A and B are shown apart, each in its own frame.
Chain A
Amino acid sequence: MAYFLKPALLGAAAAALLTTSAMSQQRVLKYNADYDPLPLKGMEELIADFEKANPDIDVQLTNFDHEGYKTAIRNFLSADAPDLANWYAGNRMAPFVNAGQFMDVSDVWEANGLKDALASSLGGMTMDGKQWGIPYTYYQWGIYYNKDVYKSVGISEPKNWDEFVANCEKISAAGIDCVTTGTKALWPGAGIFDYMNLRTNGYEFHMDLANGKIDWTDDRVKATFANWARIVPYITKNHAALDWQDAAALLVQGKAANYVMGNFAVGVFKEGGMTDDNLGFLQFPEITAGVPRAEEAPTDTIHIPAGAKNVEDAKKFLAYVASPEAQSKFNATIGQLPTNKNSTVGDDPFIKAGFETVSTAYGLAQFFDRDAPAEMAKVGMEGFQQFMVQPEKLDSILKRLEQARKRIYK
């Protein structure tokens, strides 16, 4: 397929070059991406700035539907590779790195001092000691809570897990769900698991578990679930039939008090009528005293496919996207956190809280479905959902996860 396409494309490119050569010798940089409308606007602004600074480069952005992109990338990387492609950090990029379809960009990191400036994302971008892409944005996870509910029940922000559980008893007595979630799409449940495990056993243990180095039937994993079990009775019933937006509505309506979610949910809460006055953000409370505070911060990334034709300009673009100026501008537009620590953030209280939370964290997890291999993520997230519905079946759930682990990480 690629073989037949190439001459045609080269011909088209040559024709384009011929027609524009009168104006300037522009080099084409093809970029495939999966932006939603707001990030798309932000990236178009960045591209415009980049082209102004580099008049000899013409960035051609092809934007895909977010979900469709996940399938499309598997085709275009081998059939008709662009010069740049969006993807995600952590284990999510492993299939492409292992199949040799992403290019090693360690030199871009070295040359621009990114190992220091993007230190928080270094772990998520490194495989086999090399860096395979550039992070352009991330966002924090945490507990979003309804301040009005806290006030009406007469509780304050919990300092640790015991206080959180005690709060839950009071909230529940008032007929309100203490923790809400909507696990129809499975992933929201993984956010709760990640925090339970990060706070119970710490960052290293969590990453080892996601990488298949620890048995799921290990006592420390059971300890995580034992802590989780303390709040299971206070989680919204029927969460398995709810989308995450449905659960957000419960928080807005005051039928639920807390929601373990990513910062993208703030937009939904505010559309529902909440304001900075009654929507609060909490870092997930401490569970095991002395475990350093690690956070969840899923990172979106840009990579150079192995089949890229204009590698030199692609690397120039990556360096530009990693710069504090570009990161500040892009993330101000889309309301997320810049990955470059020298960037600035706006006045939004949730962005400020997030920047504070993430940049002072001991370690950053990418989220269970990016840290663990895809198959393990699926089996795991189903297990987490089942645990929240049928906590008494924990042993059989863990046995199933352990079987899957033995098969998947051969």
Chain B
Amino acid sequence: MTGSTTALPAMRKPSGTWWKRNQRRLAPYLFLAPGVFMFALYVIWPIFDSIRLSFFDWDGLGQKTWIGLDNYYELGDDENFYTSLKNNVIWLVLYMLAVPIGLFIAIFLNQTVTGIRVYKSLFFFPFVISQVVVGLIFSWFYAPNFGLLYKLIEWMTGTGIAFLAEPDYVTYALVAAGLWPQIAYCMILYLTGLNNVSPDQIEAARLDGAKGWKMLWHVILPQLRPATFIAVVVTVIGALRSFDIVSIMTDGGPFGSSRVLSFYMYEQALSEYGYRMGYGASIAVVLFLIMMVFISGFIWKMVRDERGV
């Protein structure tokens, strides 16, 4: 026992001292290594591989053929691509409604009434259930001939509107379905934020005569800034990833008018009529670039905030 403990340092003496000397400098990298390795393998490498794939024509089975920028030239001419892009913008803009609506529901629910926890969890419920279920519920809601909304409109105006069959309305109908769980998500973020609003400041503001909108705008909202930031981030990302709802409710239809980029990418690369891996990859690259605009913005803000502190 003692023999071995004395023998080890003797054997490792040269490297041991180097190790000792550099231990502090190396430790962070060693701790980072597993994470960096995983991140590189599952995030960085696929990104570059997708970019590379977007220069090929490949059906997933046969030979890959290098076609340079042809996929991108084709995207430039592709009506469906522009439809998807336009729908992504609609999603992005209207999805942001989730933030203010979530805030107001949170403020509304931030009171002490008997059973408030039950109400809170009921409001939060749509976020808990799967997007697929949300999509299914809403497609029944919109369904021609038996849907609740369809029947309601029919009762009021005489003719029902099947929103999912109308190329001009369908994206708005989908965003409405997507907003339902997203509002709940923003609400919960604000509810936790409201817990941390300092009562002293509210008290002080009240003494100074602030109330109503002024109180909200000048006293409450500034304190909710971290919650707002997170709510905006998750909503932007949620809008750009809106795939499940499109896939469940319309499958991109009618005739492709409700596609978004992520769904179009899936359709081209992996669906039954697709298997154009290269073309799908080029759509993915465009989507990635759009996301990068937002992601870099968020990262820039976070870095700036950390420096500021």
- Which chain A residues have a beta carbon within 8 Å of chain B's beta carbons? 70-71, 74, 78, 95-96, 98-99, 101, 183-186, 237-242, 246, 250, 369, 374-375, 377-378, 382-383, 385-386, 389-390, 400, 403, 407
In the complex, are the beta carbons of A241 and B254 less than 8 A apart? yes
Known: A74-B60, A184-B250. A382 touches B143 (CB 8 A): no
Chain A nearest Cβ from B306, distance in angstroms: 44
Residues of A within 8 A of B104 (CB): none
Complex Cα–Cα for A389 and B257 (A): 12
Task: Name which residue of chain B comes closest to A376, CB basis.
Answer: B273
Chain B nearest Cβ from A381, distance in angstroms: 8
Residues of A within 8 A of B92 (CB): none
Residues of A within 8 A of B144 (CB): 237-238, 241-242
Task: Name which residue of chain B comes closest to A78, CB basis.
Answer: B61
Complex Cα–Cα for A281 and B213 (A): 69
In the complex, are the beta carbons of B275 and A374 less than 8 A apart? yes
In the complex, are the beta carbons of A184 and B62 less than 8 A apart? no
In the assembled complex, B244 has its CB within 8 A of some CB on chain A = no
Is the contact region of chain B dominated by helix, strand, or loop, or is it mixed?
loop
Residues of B within 8 A of A389 (CB): 165, 167, 254-255
In the complex, are the beta carbons of A241 and B164 less than 8 A apart? yes
How many residues of chain B get a CB closer than 8 Å to chain A's CBs?
29
In the assembled complex, B305 has its CB within 8 A of some CB on chain A = no
Chain A nearest Cβ from B256, distance in angstroms: 5
In the complex, are the beta carbons of A377 and B255 less than 8 A apart? no
In the complex, are the beta carbons of B162 and A238 less than 8 A apart? yes
- How many residue pairs between the two chains, A and B, have CB atoms under 8 Å in the bound complex? 81
Complex Cα–Cα for A349 and B267 (A): 40
Residues of B within 8 A of A186 (CB): 251, 253
In the assembled complex, B81 has its CB within 8 A of some CB on chain A = no
Complex Cα–Cα for A274 and B61 (A): 45
Chain B nearest Cβ from A380, distance in angstroms: 10
Complex Cα–Cα for A146 and B145 (A): 19
Task: Name which residue of chain B comes closest to A67, CB basis.
Answer: B272
In the complex, are the beta carbons of B273 and A400 less than 8 A apart? no
In the complex, are the beta carbons of B272 and A385 less than 8 A apart? no
Chain A nearest Cβ from B16, distance in angstroms: 41
Complex Cα–Cα for A375 and B77 (A): 16
Chain B nearest Cβ from A368, distance in angstroms: 11
Residues of B within 8 A of A96 (CB): 61
In the complex, are the beta carbons of A240 and B253 less than 8 A apart? yes
Residues of A within 8 A of B254 (CB): 183, 240-241, 385-386, 389
Complex Cα–Cα for A14 and B256 (A): 52
Mark B35-61 against chain A: 1 for CB-CB distance below 8 A, else 0: 000000000000000000000000111
Task: Name which residue of chain A comes closest to B142, CB basis.
Answer: A241
Known: A95-B61, A101-B61. A385 touches B253 (CB 8 A): yes
Known: A238-B162, A240-B165, A389-B165. A95 touches B275 (CB 8 A): yes
Q: Which 3 residue pairs across A and B have the least CB separation, nearest first? A: A240-B254, A378-B273, A241-B165
Residues of A within 8 A of B203 (CB): none
- Which chain B residues have a beta carbon within 8 Å of chain A's beta carbons? 59-62, 74, 77, 79, 142-145, 162-165, 167, 250-251, 253-256, 267, 270, 272-276
Complex Cα–Cα for A70 and B271 (A): 9
In the complex, are the beta carbons of B79 and A70 less than 8 A apart? no
Residues of A within 8 A of B59 (CB): 95, 99
In the complex, are the beta carbons of B251 and A185 less than 8 A apart? yes
Residues of A within 8 A of B162 (CB): 237-238, 240-241
Residues of A within 8 A of B77 (CB): 403
In the complex, are the beta carbons of B61 and A377 less than 8 A apart? no
Known: A238-B165, A241-B165. A98 touches B256 (CB 8 A): no
Known: A246-B143, A246-B145; 19 extra A-B contacts, CB below 8 A, are: A71-B270, A74-B60, A95-B59, A183-B254, A184-B250, A186-B253, A237-B162, A238-B145, A239-B165, A240-B165, A240-B253, A241-B165, A374-B275, A378-B267, A382-B253, A383-B255, A385-B253, A385-B255, A407-B74
Residues of B within 8 A of A99 (CB): 59, 61-62
Complex Cα–Cα for A193 and B176 (A): 34
In the complex, are the beta carbons of A386 and B255 less than 8 A apart? yes
Chain B nearest Cβ from A265, distance in angstroms: 18
Task: Name which residue of chain B comes closest to A386, CB basis.
Answer: B255
Residues of B within 8 A of A184 (CB): 250-251, 253
Task: Name which residue of chain B comes closest to A378, CB basis.
Answer: B273
- Interchain CB contact (< 8 A) of B273 among A71, A246, A369, A383: A369
Chain A nearest Cβ from B76, distance in angstroms: 13
Residues of B within 8 A of A377 (CB): 273
In the complex, are the beta carbons of B272 and A374 less than 8 A apart? yes
- Interchain CB contact (< 8 A) of A240 among B164, B270, B272: B164
In the complex, are the beta carbons of A74 and B164 less than 8 A apart? no
Chain B nearest Cβ from A393, distance in angstroms: 10
Chain B nearest Cβ from A241, distance in angstroms: 4
Residues of B within 8 A of A385 (CB): 253-255
Complex Cα–Cα for A246 and B147 (A): 12
Chain B nearest Cβ from A92, distance in angstroms: 10
Complex Cα–Cα for A250 and B274 (A): 32
Task: Name which residue of chain B comes closest to A253, CB basis.
Answer: B145
Of the candidates B142, B144, B270, the one having the most CB atoms from chain A within 10 angstroms of its own CB is B144
In the complex, are the beta carbons of B164 and A382 less than 8 A apart? no
Chain B nearest Cβ from A123, distance in angstroms: 23
Residues of A within 8 A of B255 (CB): 240, 382-383, 385-386, 389
Complex Cα–Cα for A403 and B74 (A): 11
Of the candidates A186, A241, A385, the one having the most CB atoms from chain B within 10 angstroms of its own CB is A241
Complex Cα–Cα for A185 and B272 (A): 12
Complex Cα–Cα for A184 and B258 (A): 12
Chain A nearest Cβ from B247, distance in angstroms: 12
In the complex, are the beta carbons of A400 and B79 less than 8 A apart? yes
Complex Cα–Cα for A386 and B256 (A): 9
- Interchain CB contact (< 8 A) of B256 among A238, A382, A403: A382
In the complex, are the beta carbons of B272 and A375 less than 8 A apart? no
Residues of B within 8 A of A374 (CB): 272-275
Task: Name which residue of chain A comes closest to B77, CB basis.
Answer: A403
Complex Cα–Cα for A369 and B60 (A): 19
Task: Name which residue of chain B comes closest to A374, CB basis.
Answer: B273
Residues of B within 8 A of A383 (CB): 255
